[in-house]
Structure 1
Amino acid sequence: MKKILNLLLIDDHPITIDGYKNILETLHATKEIYDYNTDESYCCETAFKLIENKTYDLVLLDISLPPSKDGMFKSGEDLGQFILKRHPKTKILVITSFNDPILLNNILHFISPKGFLYKGDINVRLLSEAIINVLNGNTYYSTLILNLIQKNLSSRIFLDVMDKQILYQLSKGVKTVDLKKTIPLSQAGIEKRKRILKDTFNTKSLDDSALIRAVIEKGYL
């Protein structure tokens, strides 16, 4: 008897999840996938609760999601890292509308998804192929994603947990001098990281609000 697949669909747009479900129904009807159960989530908060209590065979993961109430999960990228740590055998198919090479490389580096698609390219055939390949243990990246990632390979810029914490606290209005209260770094270490972040996002001579706007625009917050 074939195992019943557990699938989790995460996107902040219900109409997108409905589209995913229609494609899954078609794949099931044509016997390209076997029986399955689906759960769905529209934000980090409910997705975390589902992932914490259940193991999934495949997660379709959007990156731009409403954060959890406690700020622990700020995006789908944080969820992806949590899935990877808690359920390393779960296959992740990232589907994003972001096309910034730095962000895409960050996702690739910290999540290592089995599948990676750009929303602007998605059609029934592409998503069907991706789902089938990923469930069969293959890697499936769309051409545009591969091209965008290639653009940034030489720089290899990644934002680690500390970088993200600094950006998150700044976005909440916390002053730089107060960051050390919640971030385990010296003041000099925080200042150095902030300078590097401003260089990375081309806001070197501007104030912190310009940095945060650039970060949000590129999808990091």
Structure 2
Amino acid sequence: MIEKPATKRNILIVDDHPINVDSYKTLLSNIDSNSNADFQLAFDCKEAYHIINGMKNNQLLIDFAFIDINLPPYEDKKIFSGSDLALIIKDFFPKCKIIIISMHKEPLWVNQIYKSINPHGFIAKSDINYKSFPLIFESIEKSETYYSSSIKESQRVMIQKNINWDDNDSKILQFLSEGIKTIQLPDFVPLSLSSIEKRKANIKKQLMLNSGSDKEMIDIAKKLGLL
């Protein structure tokens, strides 16, 4: 009787630093369960989107996706970050295990990604090395959720600060800190300008206890370690 060959698992790796992509691929390839894996590699949102869309159209699955947050955007599709890619993957491939790897570990960033993506793995780049990376993967492979130590600490800080806002509020503050004007925010956040203005006022109330300028709001958020 001829045995049917084992189905290959597909692993997507997206990072704008080629050395990181190569390192992750090498470390994952050395794990026995990935000996037959196909690796899909991308270095920006555009490349990643075309891989994701192509696999969907060809009725192929993505089993694991390792995604950096800061990536060159694909503005034609309004994909501005790894977070946006992760949401597309969750929509196209509900069973895919998503692992976010980022140099950012600020509480606000962590809170936003946790609420919007709720990834199977969430790792600060400063928390991983060649020894820990395979162990982290094997943990996630067993359907365990893995958050690295810095990410857990950021979650704790966010809870302690008891700031009550959602993913869109976090995005508003982040985009403003990056120089995006309020009038431009409807292009980045799925809300009307009037809703954004109301939310911005609420953020100021929580951070500043009164009204103030956008710069003052951003400065306080940075001092609190939220940006």
Cα distance in structure 1, aligned partners of 2:68 and 2:13: 9
**8 Å Cα contact 1:63-1:94 kept in structure 2:** yes
Unpaired runs of 5+ residues, structure 2, are: 56-60
Match of 1:65 in 2: 71
Match of 2:50 in 1: 49
Which amino acid in 1 is paired with 2:53?
Answer: E
Q: Does 1:196 align with 2:205?
A: no
How far the C-alpha of 1:60 sits from its partner, in A, is 0.5
What is the percentage of aligned positions where both structures have the same residue?
A: 27
How far the C-alpha of 1:171 sits from its partner, in A, is 5.9
Instruction: Say how many residue pairs are matched.
Output: 212
How far the C-alpha of 1:83 sits from its partner, in A, is 1.3
Alignment map for 1:148-163 (pairs within 5 Å): 148-154=154-160, 155=162, 157-161=164-168
The TM-score with structure 1 as length reference comes to 0.78
How far the C-alpha of 1:195 sits from its partner, in A, is 2.3
The TM-score with structure 2 as length reference comes to 0.77
Cα distance in structure 1, aligned partners of 2:74 and 2:202: 27
Alignment map for 1:100-115 (pairs within 5 Å): 100-115=106-121
Which amino acid in 1 is paired with 2:54?
Answer: N
User: SS of the counterpart of 1:93?
Assistant: strand
Q: Does 1:4 align with 2:5?
A: no
1:51-87 Cα shifts (integer Å, max 9, x gaps): 1221310000111111112261111111112211221
Q: Does 1:13 align with 2:14?
A: no
Unpaired runs of 5+ residues, structure 1, are: none
Alignment map for 1:85-164 (pairs within 5 Å): 85-154=91-160, 155=162, 157-161=164-168, 164=171
User: SS of the counterpart of 2:7?
Assistant: coil
**8 Å Cα contact 1:105-1:158 kept in structure 2:** no
**8 Å Cα contact 1:44-1:67 kept in structure 2:** yes
**8 Å Cα contact 1:9-1:17 kept in structure 2:** yes
**8 Å Cα contact 1:106-1:158 kept in structure 2:** no
Cα distance in structure 2, aligned partners of 1:4 and 1:169: 43
**8 Å Cα contact 2:207-2:217 kept in structure 1:** no
**8 Å Cα contact 1:6-1:56 kept in structure 2:** yes
Q: Does 1:26 align with 2:35?
A: no
2:81 corresponds to which of 53, 56, 75 = 75
User: SS of the counterpart of 1:66?
Assistant: coil
CA RMSD in angstroms comes to: 3.4
Distance 1:161 1:147, change over 3 A: closer
Cα distance in structure 2, aligned partners of 1:120 and 1:90: 25
1:171-216 Cα shifts (integer Å, max 9, x gaps): 676563x7679965363x33222223455677x633469849x79x
How far the C-alpha of 1:143 sits from its partner, in A, is 2.1
**8 Å Cα contact 1:163-1:193 kept in structure 2:** no
Match of 2:58 in 1: none
**8 Å Cα contact 1:106-1:157 kept in structure 2:** no
User: SS of the counterpart of 2:28?
Assistant: helix
